Amino acid sequence: MAIRNIVKHGDDVLTKKCRKIEVFDQRLSQLVDDLFDTLYESGGVGLAAPQVGVLKRVVVIDIDDEPYELINPEIIETRGVQNGPEGCLSYPGQFGMVKRPMYVKIKAQDRTGEWHEYEGEELLARAFCHETDHLDGNMFMRLVDEWLES
Ligand code: NI
């Protein structure tokens, strides 16, 4: 078990494009485990590798005890729209209204390199978008219509 430090907004690492994972080795597996440990410690629902200072296309999400490890994730289909409060572990205590698709289908590899497709609605769809955006250096605040009082 290893908790890594979560990088906060203002750090350049959060605005960089992450590299694709080509090698599915023990080091990757350790990164995925550390991301889950760090996510559970923080109480959030999703965490992307750049948020622990690692510029690689790796994301973890867990909503209602359903863990997703997403390596090289790509959104392949979206439908509808939802507008709701969104936050980020790199912006502690700040929440803003962000429009996202209501439904998102994503494809991603797991730590062994096998491809999977996942579908999500509502919060899970929002998390797929938010975390995938992190891998291209896109922060949610760019999409905020209106900040909420904290
Ligand atoms: Ni975030």
- pLDDT tens digits along 127-146: 999 999 999 999 999 999 89
d(CA 121, CA 80): 10
Q: Has 74 been annotated as catalytic? A: no
Q: Across residues 73-90, what is the average pLDDT?
A: 97
Could you tell me the distance, in angstroms and rounded to a whole number, from the CA of residue 133 to the centre of ligand 1? 8
Task: Say which amino acid occupies 69.
Answer: E
Tell me the mean pLDDT in the region 89-95: 95
Contact predicate 2/34, CB 8 Å:
yes
* CATH fold of the domain at 12-149: Peptide Deformylase (3.90.45)
Residues 6+ apart with CB under 8 A from 19: 55, 56, 57
Ligand 1 center to residue 97 CA distance, Å? 14
pLDDT in tens, 9-63: 999 999 999 999 999 999 999 999 999 999 999 999 999 999 999 999 999 999 9
